[in-house]
Amino acid sequence: MKKTIKDYNLENKKVIIRVDFNVPMKDGLITDDNRIIESLPTIKYAIDNHAKVILMSHLGRIKTSDDLGKNSLKAVALRLEHLLNKEVIFVNSTRGLELENKIESLKPGDVLLMENTRYEDLDGQKESLNDEELGKYWASLGDIYINDAFGTAHRSHASNVGIASHLPNGVGFLMEKELKLLGDNINNPKRPLTVILGGAKVSDKIGVIENLVKKADYILIGGGMAFTFLKAKGYQIGRSLLDQDSLEFCVDMLNIYGDKIIVPIDVQEADEIDENARTAFVDASQMGTNKIGVDIGPRTIELFKKYIMESQTVVWNGPVGMFEISSFETGTKEIATTLAEIDATTIVGGGDTGSAISKYGLKDKITHVSTGGGASLELLEGKKLPGVEIIADK
């Protein structure tokens, strides 16, 4: 068990909280503030316990100076101020006198947000390469370090591993929740445990399949990756996505775990990847030579629903069709709706699957939508996350 924010007396202490405010932005506006909302319990706890709260986060990638303006955390500071109903002191730099002075003048319960940690990437990728001096410098600004940024926990950066190496540390409530639901819960689930995997390439999910095939009762395969499995069964898949390098892996998996790995029995095929393309539902073994598989078919939806409704725990990572195009979204929408309806622990990986849940307005009906895409995949692969490993044990 890792130490948590609750293991420290925060009274009058400068508490650095590494949050994940890496929110999607369009034209300077935040399009989804889920990650900010998920950070609030830890921030509020620190405020209520009279800490001087110093928030750090990255936002997007910084490669050239053109990236600076569009990846400023200023908009996030304003949104956070609104959500907390409290002043958030924003400092538009990541080091220097102004930052140091503002931190020194904080009073218990005050909240300060530093500019995007990746501004430090402009000069030698100091944040992303966990520059020793930078981690030490940021640590010198606080007394206690709390990591609540699950989304970057699979990376070893100055703002997580770096700072934590120099300060008493712990995890925040969001990190605790993610580790419990995506980690412990998978190792010791209420059964049946069903895992739904979709998305584009099999290769991205090989580690997840290898780890979960031993733990789950069923793995339902949809999305682009289903077509490599169908090819592995000897079906012809037309112009559907094929991950040739993973074909052998799919053949092996079906041979060894054929009773657990459930692949589509019918699919929606289209002439083109286009909203108005002509489409048809066909048996998975009967695809046209020139067609593209874009979604699972109605019989597969019913089959998947049957497994889902019998389950006590369901983990879902990856849309089962090209849900961004409305004529190809039925499978993903139906799976999302079924998850929302059942009385079971339902966990959705971040990234595209999380966007699908938001698109259909179902977030409140899912036990947890993870705030981390890559990090949630690595946890499901059974990997250790560097941002968590560095945190002291209880």
Residue range at the interface with ligand AMP (CB under 6 A); choices 134-142, 179-187, 192-200, 385-393: 192-200
# binding residues, ligand AMP (CB under 6 A): 16
Residue nearer to ligand AMP on the CB measure, 139 or 226: 226
Residue 224: active-site member: no
Q: 170, 351, 354, 387: which one contacts ligand AMP (CB under 6 A)?
A: 351
Helix axes 247-257, 206-215, angle to 10 degrees: 0
Q: Are 218 and 196 in contact (CB under 8 A)?
A: no
DSSP-assigned letter for residue 361: T
Q: 112, 167, 237, 322: which one contacts ligand AMP (CB under 6 A)?
A: 322
If one asks whether residue 199 binds ligand AMP (CB under 6 A), the answer comes out as yes
If one asks whether residue 318 binds ligand AMP (CB under 6 A), the answer comes out as yes
* Shortest Å, Cβ 351 to ligand AMP: 6
If one asks whether residue 172 binds ligand AMP (CB under 6 A), the answer comes out as no
Provide the 3-class DSSP secondary structure of residue 260.
coil
Q: 243, 329, 352, 378: which one contacts ligand AMP (CB under 6 A)?
A: 352
DSSP notation for 84-136: HTS--EEES-SSSHHHHHHHHT--TT-EEEE--GGGGGTTT-TTTTT-HHHHH
If one asks whether residue 341 binds ligand AMP (CB under 6 A), the answer comes out as no
DSSP-assigned letter for residue 150: G
Distance separating the N- and C-terminal Cα atoms of the chain? 6
If one asks whether residue 297 binds ligand AMP (CB under 6 A), the answer comes out as no
Pairing mode of beta strands 279-283, 266-270: antiparallel
Closest CA to 15 of 176, 179, 174, 163: 163
If one asks whether residue 271 binds ligand AMP (CB under 6 A), the answer comes out as no
Residue nearer to ligand AMP on the CB measure, 189 or 293: 293
* Shortest Å, Cβ 298 to ligand AMP: 15
Pairing mode of beta strands 25-26, 29-30: antiparallel
DSSP notation for 164-213: HTTS-EEE-HHHHHHHIIIIIHHHSPPSSEEEEE-SS-SGGGHHHHHHHH
Residue nearer to ligand AMP on the CB measure, 87 or 210: 210
* Shortest Å, Cβ 354 to ligand AMP: 10
Pairing mode of beta strands 29-30, 52-56: unpaired
Residue 321: active-site member: no
Catalytic residue among 13, 35, 155, 305: 35
Neighbours of 232 (CB within 10 A): 20
Q: 37, 200, 251, 280: which one contacts ligand AMP (CB under 6 A)?
A: 200
Residue 374: active-site member: yes
Binding-site ranges for ligand AMP (CB under 6 A): 198-200, 204, 223-224, 241, 293-294, 318-319, 321-322, 324, 351-352
Question: Would you name the residues annotated as active-site residues?
Answer: 35, 201, 351, 374
